[in-house]
A and B are shown apart, each in its own frame.
Chain A
Amino acid sequence: MAIVVKRPKLTFGEKIYLSSIAKGMMITIGHFWRALFGKGTVTMQYPEEKWDENLPEYYRGAPALVTDEQDRERCVACQLCEFICPPRAITITPEEIPSDDQWAKVEKRPQKFEIDMARCIYCGFCQEVCPEQAIFLRKDYAITGVSRDEMVHDKKKLYEIGGVREGLVNKWNKLK
């Protein structure tokens, strides 16, 4: 349904916009003047100055896989993150956990888990969609590499970034 937005009725002075133009230009020159004397500038000189210690808990840096207190890899290769990933940065190859493994009852784990950081857009959908609390966006933001291959984080690298996370739900422990 079309909505008719009521236009404000302008006086002649407003219609020629000259006063608003002047007002706007006074604002910008005000900023200019203050910035000229170093006031109000918010830019941080990046490589020298960093904000790392101030990063909030919800900061969305590089996605990484985590293990829990029992040293179990949380990911069960459900591939929901691969599905939700808007730039299709995630590639997972699942495999069955061999029966002699301590966690054989979980049955499934990723054989390969690769995130192409050249593609990743740090949206955090993977973390949001994960039913196993296995993938988290950490505070690493400076991801560099000299080739495209180097920008692909494999499973080992992802666990390295992710580390151990405690206090997560351990639903698999209840299984026989």
Chain B
Amino acid sequence: MDWINIAVTLIKIVVLTFMVLLPMIAYSVWAERRVAAKIQNRVGPNRTGIPFTKFGLFGLGQPIADGLKFIFKEDLTPAHVRTGYFWLAPALTMVPALMTCAVIPFGSELNIAGYKIPLVIADLNVGPLFIFAIASLSVYGIVLAGWASNSKYPFLGGVRSTSQMISYEISLGLSIVPIIMIFGELNLTEIVKWQDANGWLLFPFWGGGEFWQEALLLIPVVISFVIFTVSMFAETNRLPFDLPECETELVAGYHTEYSSMKFALFFLGEYAAMIIGSGLAVTLFLGGWSLPFGIGSELVDKPLWLGIAHFFSFLIKMIGFILFFIWVRWSLPRFRYDQLMRLGWVFFFEIALANVFLTAFILLYFN
């Protein structure tokens, strides 16, 4: 029995990280470029398809070509860097992003021949805390990259990144406190199950639950959602908060001195963080894998199909959220650094704190 569990877990790790998450990372880069191009009335990468043929397939071969290019580029380690840390840094940004996907429930459970496989790698009781704990490690990657590069722009990028990530982690953490208070639960699987039963947190229009309490709770939930999303942008160093790499000021910021696959790890680490962020947002606010409007009810007697439907429900929501990330990036200009700090410390921190009390009040009074 134990061996089967271990084997199943290993298969889940392989499938979910290497066959779901990594391709998603690659194709979110492609999506980013295509969407950016469309927004700017361009075409974007549309030619890289099947090699030696004219089949472009909307440029779907582009991520593979990019990957090959990165692998075959000269991997340059400048003479003036701290080699050990310099090599460690890219791994330190990529690994935490991949590790966090362990607790994200990608679906309910797959019922294969009576054997129920929950679609989450590690069903931890402290899901969100685990994610924050691990995700905040990625700041070390950036700081190390900036410091080990031994060059001024990477250093400035690293310094900016540290203060930015530390600042926004506070509001990020505080913003989900009300959510956890509403769920009364820290296990992400249970949280999704709760939403499946009571309606999504942001759209509590179906399922059970008291109408008035739910309607009132929407206020703190929306506030939480806004703070969470914006902080997520800041945490993943994406525009409008991409000051650590800020091309116009810092050349390329912390990864200026990197080339080849090491650079690619930073680049992809950012997308991995974005995907995990989207996954978390979907799990906490948009019902995770649960289907809206009770659509899945006719599939109850076919548990395998229901599990697959849940999985795709989650994927579609996550992709939608990623597209939202991309959309924001190509719409909004970059913040000034002082504005960024002001927003984090003066507004979000206070609002998130007040939101906790507001939620507590609502929960207490309308219970």
**A residues neighboring B (CB under 8 Å):** 21, 24-25, 27-29, 31-32, 35-36, 40-43, 45
Main secondary structure of the interface of A (DSSP, over half): helix
Shortest distance between the CB of A12 and any CB in chain B (Å): 14
Q: Quick check: A21 and B332 within 8 Å, CB to CB?
A: yes
CA A26 to CA B331, docked complex, whole Å: 9
Q: Are B43 and A43 in touch, CB under 8 angstroms?
A: yes
Which 10 A-B pairs have CB atoms at the shortest separation, nearest pair first? A35-B38, A28-B331, A43-B43, A25-B331, A32-B38, A28-B39, A32-B39, A40-B41, A24-B331, A43-B42
A selection of 22 A-B contacts at a CB cut-off of 8 Å is A21-B331, A24-B331, A24-B332, A25-B327, A25-B328, A25-B331, A25-B332, A28-B327, A28-B330, A28-B331, A29-B39, A31-B38, A31-B41, A32-B35, A35-B39, A36-B38, A40-B41, A41-B41, A41-B42, A41-B43, A43-B41, A43-B43
Contact size class for B?
10 to 19
Residue of A nearest to B333 (CB): A24
Asked if B40 CB lies within 8 Å of chain A CBs, one says: yes
Which A residues are in CB contact (< 8 Å) with B41? Answer: 31, 35, 40-43
**B32-59 vs A, Cβ < 8 Å mask (1 yes, 0 no):** 0001011111110000000000000000
Chain B residues whose C-beta falls within 8 Å of the C-beta of A41 in the assembled complex: 41-43
Bound Cα distance from A32 to B43, whole angstroms? 11
What's the minimum C-beta distance from A170 to chain B, rounded to whole angstroms?
A: 48
Q: B43, A31: Cβ atoms under 8 Å?
A: no
Using a CB-CB cutoff of 8 Å, which residues 313-363 of chain B contact chain A? 327-328, 330-332
Chain B residue at smallest Cβ distance from A22 = B331
Distance in Å: Cβ of B55 to nearest Cβ of chain A: 16
What's the nearest-Cβ distance from chain A to residue B189, in Å?
33
- Given contacts A28-B330, A45-B43, 15 further A-B pairs with CB under 8 A are A21-B331, A21-B332, A28-B331, A29-B39, A31-B39, A32-B39, A35-B37, A35-B38, A40-B41, A41-B42, A41-B43, A42-B41, A43-B37, A43-B41, A43-B42
